[in-house]
Amino acid sequence: MDTVVERELELRLVLSPEHSIPVPALLTYRTEDPYAVHIDFHIGTEFPVHWTFARDLLVEGVFRPCGQGDVRIWPTKVERRNVVFVALTSPDGNALLEMPSAAVAAWVERTLRIVPPGTESERLGLDEGLARLLAPLPADDLWLSDPWPSDESQDGEA
């Protein structure tokens, strides 16, 4: 059975050190995709902006700086509040988002209780999928037999 863990949050899009704007977001974790977390940012358009990245990155980023390239995450304090910053980079632009640390940490903890670290691959069903893929089928007998009779005649005709 697949499980979904969701959490609605109000993030802050940091525009400058002095100015940020609220951005409603939805954090989603699905056991059918156990290595990933999904974030939908609702920015007033018809469709939300969707990002997917490694759950391990968010788990680590709650405690210490991590990531490189497109997604970087680090904990810090802003006005005596514990927050987690997420820096996102894409060909379309960059965004720096401020997330409430306690809410993110609690959500991450829920995902870790459902799928503990190191057990993600068990959720993918790779062994069962490979067994089905490699299992012989009745038609395989036809492929294994010689489709052309030998050139020698069976009844002695030439």
Cα–Cα distance for residue pair 130/151, rounded to 1 Å: 39
> pLDDT band at residue 63, thresholds of 50, 70 and 90?
very high
| Tokens, residue 56 | 């391990």
Q: What is the pLDDT of residues 73-99, one digit of tens each?
A: 999 998 899 999 999 999 988 999 999
Q: What is the pLDDT of residues 110-147, one digit of tens each?
A: 999 999 988 887 777 666 767 777 777 766 666 566 66
Calculate mean pLDDT across residues 46-64.
94
What contacts 61, CB < 8 A, 6 or more positions away? Answer: 67, 73, 74, 75, 84, 86
Full-model pTM: 0.75
> For every residue of 92-109, which 3-state class applies, written as one string?
CEEEEEEEEHHHHHHHHH
